[in-house]
């Protein structure tokens, strides 16, 4: 899987010979918005189930040994993070959202693995891969420069 991600990174960073700048930009935008849309949709649906106390969400938290208070906190965090990823002009908050989703999905993967959910622990890993595509392909107006401002 790491080879696949490395190959994707090489494709995104490389500039194919003969491709017009507009074509490279269009491909990058499609990759960015597809990956970002998938991440936002997944997190918004999860936030909705967490915050409405859907029985399956409550049971999943019980199954992995997490307290129900964490379900509410993660529901708020997922809702906030998904909104921040989609809104323009919030580069610093967007960086925090990317980091938060990464930490959250690493913890979810470990929790499901330790709870014996062997195939389910791969779902957060797949979401991290999609999040990585979103992060790598974001445009310069959605990045933070070294001084914390838009680059």
- pLDDT tens, position by position, 79-106: 999 999 999 888 899 999 999 999 999 9
78, 47 Cβ separation under 8 angstroms: yes
Contact 124, 112 (CB under 8 A): yes
Other beta carbons less than 10 A from residue 43's beta carbon: 27
What's the pLDDT band for 20 if we cut at 50, 70, 90? Answer: very low
pLDDT at residue 144, as a whole number? 74
Question: Could you tell me what percent of the chain has a pLDDT over 70?
Answer: 78
pLDDT at position 14, please? 52
| Distance in Å from the first CA to the final CA of the chain | 31
- Count CA atoms within 13 Å of residue 106 on its CB side: 6
Helix (H, G, I), strand (E, B), or coil: what is residue 150?
strand
């Amino acid at each position: 899987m790491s080879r696949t991600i490395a190959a994707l990174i090489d494709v995104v960073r490389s500039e194919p010979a003969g491709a017009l700048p507009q074509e490279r930009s269009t491909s990058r935008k499609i990759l960015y918005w597809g990956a970002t849309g998938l991440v936002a949709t997944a997190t918004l649906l999860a936030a909705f189930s967490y915050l409405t106390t859907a029985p399956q969400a409550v049971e999943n938290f019980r199954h992995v040994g997490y307290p129900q208070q964490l379900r509410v906190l993660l529901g708020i965090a997922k809702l906030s993070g998904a909104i921040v990823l989609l809104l323009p002009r919030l580069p610093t908050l967007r960086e925090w959202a990317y980091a938060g989703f990464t930490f959250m999905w690493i913890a979810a993967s470990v929790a499901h693995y330790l709870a014996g959910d062997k195939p389910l622990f791969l779902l957060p890993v797949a979401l991290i891969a999609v999040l990585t595509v979103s992060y790598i392909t974001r445009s310069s107006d959605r990045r933070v420069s070294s001084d914390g401002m838009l680059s």
